[in-house]
Amino acid sequence: MSLAVLYSRALNGMDAPEVVVEVHLANGLPSFTIVGLPEAEVKESKDRVRAALQTAQFEFPARRITVNLAPADLPKESGRYDLPIALGILAASGQIPTEPLSRYEFAGELALTGELRPIRGALAMTSSMMRDANVPQNNSHVQNGGMPQKRAFILPQNSAAEAALVKEAIIYPANSLLEVCAHLSGHTALTQLESADVVHEVSYPDFSDVKAQSMPKRALEIAAAGGHSVIMSGPPGTGKSMLASRFVGILPEMTEPEALDSAAIQSLNGNYKLENWKRRPYRAPHHTASAVALVGGGGIPRPGEISLAHHGVLFLDELPEFDRKVLEVLREPLESGRITISRAARQADFPASFQLIAAMNPCPCGYLGHHNNKCRCTPDQVSRYKAKISGPLLDRIDIHIEVPALSEDELTKASVSEDSQSIRLRVEGAREKQLSRQAKPNNLLGTKEIEQYCMTDEAGMQLLKQAISRLSLSARAYHRILKVARTIADLAGDDAIKSVHIAEAVQYRKYDKAV
């Protein structure tokens, strides 16, 4: 037979649409053509495939070879199509059987020796394959009842483990082109990689390492319980970075869907490690990061730091040192939890549901308000420094806290601080109350849900009115105070929001007038 049809996957944001690889051999002058909007890496596969087939002692047909990657309007990139193209040439030339090909999907980059090299996005591709297998479709590759055929996935050995995290997926790892051909020909079957729960202890830095700072710890506990964003201000060396790095350890344990989402995004960049399964991501980009590095982008859109921090923490240290235009791109994803990257030729949508923890000094020299070191900055310098952060961005941050310098006694005496495990138990209890009441964390409540779940008593409402008047709070700030108060009440085990909860929530908005 001079025609072979195989199946693979492309990557388009978080989606991995099916790609049909059609290989046709015809008489005429020998040539090798790849069509279907291939990028440079795909075009270069011609040389890799030819060398790999010859090294593996297969015959490379001296005929007119045409490879079509359908759909034609979907850009194809990376070397993952090497394996299906090579198998298609072998099947079309009669060197391996064509019948088993429809039962599999293939992806893998070929070395010139015929070995398979790892690819990025294996987990995202497998997730899409399983999702497509459960969606009725009207096409020629369906089973009875309109359900598409469930296929197995043949992947490079080093990419198969992450793909096996997808439940019920049938994964066959292979080390070389020869192993895949032996499996398809029925000589030596590949060993299926069973989907199994990855069980290992996830550890984080502990809150007990941080001396004193009871107020910032309390604020971070509230932030963890309700999913709120935080900005910390204080002199250098007061523990802002230590607190931020330990914040991820008091968040609730990741659920299976959350872990899969997070792992799939890491897989898109090709840097996912199995030992990070169910570990909440903690991303801390340097203040020289560009807007593209933060939100994602490029000619072929890739996820940025805000997406890599999905279901985890994005820590921005030295916040005013970031370029203001870079910080402004955070405004939309902080509200929506998603980022859409649009280019002239394509568009990609990435999730970006992260908790923002930001830290800054109170002034350029860092010692404004320090009890020992004297600040050397003029009022104008302090004002310009704080003005680097826009009001609209600050308005979207729920909790504003000061991290003061420790006194000599606090710094030198031995102190016993509460550990992360104890704090996490309270956080998980409060989060369970939220999920049972409204099926989402408090920070995701909409306007009508705030009216339903976050109303307070008369004393609390009077306190809110005074805060709105004295602090000139916006409507957004008003709603965020109510959501933080709802979280404080949940931590206290109270069903109703009381004036004491409102008072504490207002304290976490007072500081934004000084920032």
pLDDT at 347: 83
Please tell me the pTM assigned to this model: 0.89
Please report how many Cα atoms fall inside a 13 Å half-sphere around the Cα of residue 269, on the Cβ side: 19
Which residues are CB-neighbours of 349 under 8 A, at least 6 positions away?
13, 14, 338, 339, 340, 341
What token pair was written down for 379? 């009022």
Which residues are CB-neighbours of 336 under 8 A, at least 6 positions away?
none
User: CB of 23 within 8 A of CB of 63?
Assistant: no
CA dihedral defined by 314, 320, 322, 324, rounded to 10 degrees?
Answer: 110
Report the candidate in 192, 190, 185, 186 with the shortest Cα–Cα distance to residue 164. Answer: 192
What is the rounded distance in angstroms from the CA atom of residue 170 to the CA atom of residue 187? 20
Domain ranges of the chain: 3-184, 207-426, 445-515
Rg (CA), the chain: 28
Which stretches of the chain drop beneath a pLDDT of 70?
A: 1, 136-148, 195-200, 345, 510-515
What is the rounded distance in angstroms from the CA atom of residue 509 to the CA atom of residue 45? 57
CATH code, residues 3-184: 3.30.230.10
pLDDT at 117: 96
Residues across the chain: 515
pLDDT at 134: 78
- Of 1.10.3470, 1.20.1280, 1.10.10, 1.10.8, which CATH number belongs to 445-515? 1.10.8
What is the rounded distance in angstroms from the CA atom of residue 36 to the CA atom of residue 74? 8
In degrees rounded to 5, what are phi and psi of residue 45?
A: -65, -20
pLDDT at 417: 82
- The per-residue DSSP string of 404-454 comes to PPPPHHHHHS---PPPHHHHHHHHHHHHHHHHHHHSS-GGG--HHHHHHH-
CB atoms closer than 10 angstroms to residue 337: 15
- The per-residue DSSP string of 192-212 comes to PB-------------GGGS-S
What is the rounded distance in angstroms from the CA atom of residue 32 to the CA atom of residue 25? 10
User: CB of 110 within 8 A of CB of 174?
Assistant: no
* Amino acid at site 103: R
Q: Alpha-carbon torsion 5, 8, 10, 16, what sign? A: positive
What is the rounded distance in angstroms from the CA atom of residue 247 to the CA atom of residue 163? 29
User: CB of 67 within 8 A of CB of 21?
Assistant: yes
Instruction: Kindly report each contact of residues 214-220 with a partner whose C-beta sits within 8 Å and lies 24 or more positions away, as own/partner.
Output: 215/401, 215/402, 216/243, 216/401, 216/402, 216/403, 217/243, 217/417, 217/418, 217/423, 219/399, 219/401, 219/508, 220/247, 220/250
pLDDT at 514: 42
Query: What's 115's DSSP letter?
Result: B
Structural class in CATH, domain 207-426:
alpha beta
3-184 and 207-426: identical CATH topology: no
CB atoms closer than 10 angstroms to residue 415: 12
CB atoms closer than 10 angstroms to residue 266: 22
